[in-house]
Amino acid sequence: MEPKAENCELYQYLEKINSPDDLKKLPADNIPALAEEIRSFLVKRVLQNGGHLASNLGVVELSLAIHRVFSSPHDHIIFDVGHQAYIHKMITGRRDRFDSLRQPGGLSGFPKRSESEHDCFGVGHSSTSLSAALGFAESDRINGSDAYTVCVLGDGAYTGGMIHEALNNCRRRLRLIIIINENEMSISKNIGRFAKTLSHLRSTKGYFRTKNATTSFLRKIPLIGGPLFRGLRRLKIGMKAVLYGSNYFENLGLYYLGPVDGNDEEAVERLLQEAKESKQSCVIHLKTQKGKGYAPAEATPDRFHGVAPSSFVAPEGTSFSDEMGLLVTTAALKNEKICAITAAMVGGTGLVKFKSTFPNRFFDVGIAEEHAVTFAAGLAANGMHPVVAIYSTFLQRAYDNIIHDVALQNLPVVFCIDRAGLNASDGATHHGLFDVAYLSGIPNIKIYTPITRNALAVALTEAFRSNGPVAIRYPNGYEDPAIVNAFYGNAVPCGIGVRNNYIHHPSDNAEHLDSVLITHGRIVKEAMAAADLLATQSHRMGILLLEQLKPYAEVAGQVAALLPKKECKIVFLEEEIRAGGMGMMLSDALSGYEVMRNKTVSIMAVDDEFAVQEKNEPIYKSVGIDRESIVKTILA
């Protein structure tokens, strides 16, 4: 399906839907046409502006059915991760803001409480939905509310341990509807010919009428009605178990419906209505097609899970993610102890080549970061040298495992921390904001901060030589030629400590400098721009680019040897949280050196906030660490 031209007349039904009430008023016969218009709208806008496409195309009918059966915001709708909530946003009055999707100060790419009353719970990480939904449902029970809570989670999220912890705590008598959207992998063994036939029967009005009438009749029989009903129910469950296997959800005491075609709006609506009328905790199992309605996304849903804006032009070369994967694969050719682990992000972390080259040494553990880290610890304790490739924002979930299972035992696990630093398009839930701070306080771990491909290669070489844990953090995207030329030229990076370069002073004579800025990562580009601005005011600022942060005592010794002996200002700049970060740790480590006695020290970092962009401005400016802010700090 090709996206339609931007013309309101072509959106005959969509332009009339500005609230869930508008959707309820639409005749059922018009729903298929509305679904087609929604897909056209999504394809056009997401391909143009970027965002999550395939996942949203697959849940059009499901989203429509939810809002036709339930009443948001009185009823609570909670999406897992939230990258499939675009239709929900459109239905709840935010369609006109879609041009600002994932833009600074614009519409969030995920549900966000401050954005709409219809977003009852903010999300962005996987497998949190059911725990939150259970909290809503129990709260409504305590307060005597008749509100329903609808939890929408995918089969990928279902691999996360939190989902099963929550399932273990679900009570039968709650107004909780759990929708499991299966679009890629099987989540149960009972999907065969008999199960399909049964699910078809269970999704018809006749089945529900007969079932409800039988239940009512049996329960009204004096004395024996209750026991008879319970006996027949146990018999039914037993027969199902013999015929096509036990049902995990019903064994937990939850009412199970499905599986059915999740792209059949009418069938989904009937199941939701049945679940609603049951007034008990229900599991609805749907099967949908990821990318439905847009042929390229149907053929390669992984490629269209998240798409870049049409204006994006990829730089030459490989991204940091892909470069890491290639380097680890090359190292594994020579070292049979090297293995790789990812948490459902094979392509995102650059491990596709490793997976195909060493399938016996590659592990995708699903959305289970805690397990990934402790699993790596077990591998390392038994002689392997595992690489754990996880986004910075997701590694937060395994903090205790890093401490207790890896660092405490000083095991040689290599953490390749992708998407480090601020990531504007995905917002606060996806910033790599905290890893420097939470890793800096853990003994035994070394932290490398490469910002070029050569520096990444050196860091990995050092990591594979180490007998203890090593963290290598790098940003999303590609190396910047300007950074390479300014700090490296044709030289190979040293791999530890700092680059002995002072921008805008060819003699590299530190005593000629008026100030020194110490930084790491891609924000060094802002520091370089600030140095240009300061040069126009006859102020000479030197820049030290760190390639390694920890051990801080070791790095401090190298930095101290490079600082001017004269009185001047020292500024630590980082795009991470200030508390416990590089600035605090390194300035503390430097404080005992004689060279620091006549220095004024400032730390520029994200200061006690989640870096939420409320205005249409660059992310560095929004948190006060951009080039202009650097100049003001230096001259203050």
Active-site residues: which are they? 290, 369, 397
Could you tell me which of 103, 76, 105 has the C-alpha nearest to residue 92?
76
Burial of 32 (0-12, 13-18, 19+ CB in 10 A): middle
Provide the angle, in degrees to the nearest 10, between the axes of the packed helices 582-590 and 552-562: 70
Give the DSSP letter of residue 432: B
CB 55 within 8 A of CB 298: no
Burial of 628 (0-12, 13-18, 19+ CB in 10 A): middle
Evaluated on CA atoms 264, 269, 270, 271, the torsion sign reads positive
Backbone angles phi, psi at 518, to 5 degrees: -110, 125
From residue 39, how far is each of 66, 83, 247, 481 by CA, in Å?
17, 15, 34, 39
- What gap in Å lies between CA 200 and CA 620, rounded to an integer? 54
In sequence order, what DSSP letters do the residues of 455-516 get, joined into one string? HHHHHHHHHHH-SS-EEEE--SS---HHHHHHHTTTSPP-SSSEE---TT-TT--GGG-SEE
CB 126 within 8 A of CB 79: no
Pairing of strands 599-606, 568-577: parallel
Could you tell me which of 416, 437, 371, 377 has the C-alpha nearest to residue 398?
371
Q: 176 has which bridge partners?
A: 149
Chain Cα centroid distance, residue 229 = 46
Helix or strand or coil: residue 603? Answer: strand
- What gap in Å lies between CA 266 and CA 283, rounded to an integer? 18
Can you read off the two tokens belonging to residue 561? 């040897």
Classify the phi-psi angles of 479: left when phi > 0, otherwise alpha if psi is within -120 to 50, otherwise beta.
beta
Q: 340 has which bridge partners?
A: 362, 387
Provide the angle, in degrees to the nearest 10, between the axes of the packed helices 225-244 and 193-202: 140
- What gap in Å lies between CA 296 and CA 300, rounded to an integer? 6
The number of helices, as runs of H, and strands, as runs of E, in the chain is: 26, 19
Report H helices in 15-128: 20-25, 31-49, 54-57, 60-69, 86-89
Can you read off the two tokens belonging to residue 87? 């239709």
CB 503 within 8 A of CB 528: yes
Q: How is the chain split among helix, strand and coil, in percent rounded to 5? A: 45, 15, 40
Residue matched to tokens 């039988």: 214
Please enumerate in sequence order all residues whose Cβ is within 8 A of that of 347, keeping only pairs 6 or more positions apart, or say none: 302
- What gap in Å lies between CA 36 and CA 1, rounded to an integer? 9
